[in-house]
Amino acid sequence: MGKIQMNPVVEIDGDEMARVLWGLIKSELLEPFIDLKTEYYDLAMEKRDEADDLNTVEAAHAIKRLKVGVKCATITANAERVEEFGLKKMWPSPNATIRSILDGTVFRAAIMTDCIKPYVRTWVRPITVARHAYGDIYAAAEYRVPTPGLAELLFTPADGGPPVRQTVYNFECPGILQAMHNKDSSMESFVRACCEFALSAKQDLWFSTKDTISKSYDQTFKQLFQHIIDTEYKSQFEQAGIEYFYTLIDDAVARIIRSEGGVVWALKNYDGDVMSDMVSSGFGSLAMMTSVLVSPDGNFEYEAAHGTITRHYRRHQLGESTSSNPIASIFAWTGGLRKRGELDGNDELCAFAQKLEDATLQTVESGIMTKDLADISEFKAGHADTFEFFSAVRARLGDPG
């Protein structure tokens, strides 16, 4: 029997322990079974420095071309990293660069297994948090008001029309002031990305804001959602048997906790930041969180939500054994391969992605797991090191062909 054939995906390699896991996933779990075709970009810290970070930009454009990318965790440079690697400059976060080129929305969901019970008992299916990653407080103007005085919003139209002023507050004492913004183009991209994701996951889409209080800002988000769903997605949602549901954010929080999960929960930037942490802790471990960047024109980039696991890598460099969990990175690959298969009608590739996910979770359910999971699982057994875990998953996959 020959290996499974496929069209290429964009492969983005990364740093430290995540890179070690990445290599093992390919050599142990993918290449024995698939004639793996990738367009490879090495975004290791030193390679980005060599290429003046242009390889990050090229990788993002490659995803636009091939539609599907898989990404290993990468170091985001900071002052210590500049010193450690002798970098030419403090290069920006690759994720931020790729996101701005793909105009994407980030979807995060927990991978669930039977032996790790969510802290929230009602959750039996994963909840995906869809976070709009533009504007709001992350790009706000702020001012510490030192004395009494008048605060106004001033808008000056570019076409030379009359300026618009609105009183914010007439301060009688010191205070604080903030102005934030968003753009129709970005909000509309966000809505479309959420709709595409809900359709591809075949899950209901929820959106929640505080539109009763924020009658123009949040209200605009709500109206754009409703308008785009009504005019562009209504029949597709009906065909897929999924629904769009809007509710006030307070109500949504209460409903999420009581729900069984299995929904895509779209949130504005700050709400998504906070709620994704709440949801991930509710489910269990950071090493079990997948993340996918979806662009409105249907490009997909899959990655693990965790970082390069520097602390483990330092031990690995010293030749010590580590117990690093590769599951989120395995699921980044299976997510990318399944999407490739779906886009190309390659059923064999989709079936292999499923088989690998099943083998990985069955390994955990058989009691073989890394330390992060052993610490929170129902089993009271010891834990496997990184290599033992890979061998166990490999054994479960059986012989190629």
Q: Would you tell me which residues interact with ligand NAP (CB under 6 A)? A: 73-76, 95, 286-287, 303, 306-311, 324-325, 370, 372
Of residues 240-279, which lie at the interface with Mg ion (CB under 5 A)? 273, 277
Say how many CA atoms lie within 13 Å of 172 toward its Cβ. Answer: 0
Binding flags for Mg ion, 272-291, as an x/- string (CB under 5 A): -x---x--------------
Residue 281: CB minimum distance to ligand NAP, A: 13
Residue 278: CB minimum distance to Mg ion, A: 9
- Which CB sits closer to ligand NAP, 310 or 321? 310
Strand, helix or coil for residue 307: coil
Of these partners, Mg ion, ligand NAP, none, which one is at the site of residue 340 (CB under 5 to 8 Å by kind)? none
Residue type, 281: S
- Which CB sits closer to ligand NAP, 19 or 339? 19
| Torsion angles phi and psi, residue 169, rounded to 5 | -165, 140
Helix/strand/coil (H/E/C) assignment for every residue in 181-220: CCCHHHHHHHHHHHHHHHHHHCCEEEECCCCCCCCCHHHH
**Dist. CA 244–CA 271, nearest whole Å:** 19
- Which CB sits closer to ligand NAP, 10 or 228? 10
- Report which residue's Cβ sits closest to ligand NAP: 307
Is there a contact between 219 and 211 (Cβ–Cβ < 8 Å)? yes
Residue 324: CB minimum distance to ligand NAP, A: 4
Residue 316: CB minimum distance to ligand NAP, A: 12
Of these partners, ligand NAP, Mg ion, none, which one is at the site of residue 273 (CB under 5 to 8 Å by kind)? Mg ion
Of these partners, ligand NAP, Mg ion, none, which one is at the site of residue 105 (CB under 5 to 8 Å by kind)? none
Q: What is the DSSP string of 225-291?
A: HHHHIIIIIHHHHHHHT--EEE--HHHHHHHHHHS---EEEEE-HHHHHHHHHHHHHHH--GGGEEE
- Which CB sits closer to ligand NAP, 209 or 370? 370
Can you give the binding site for Mg ion, defined by CB under 5 A? Answer: 273, 277
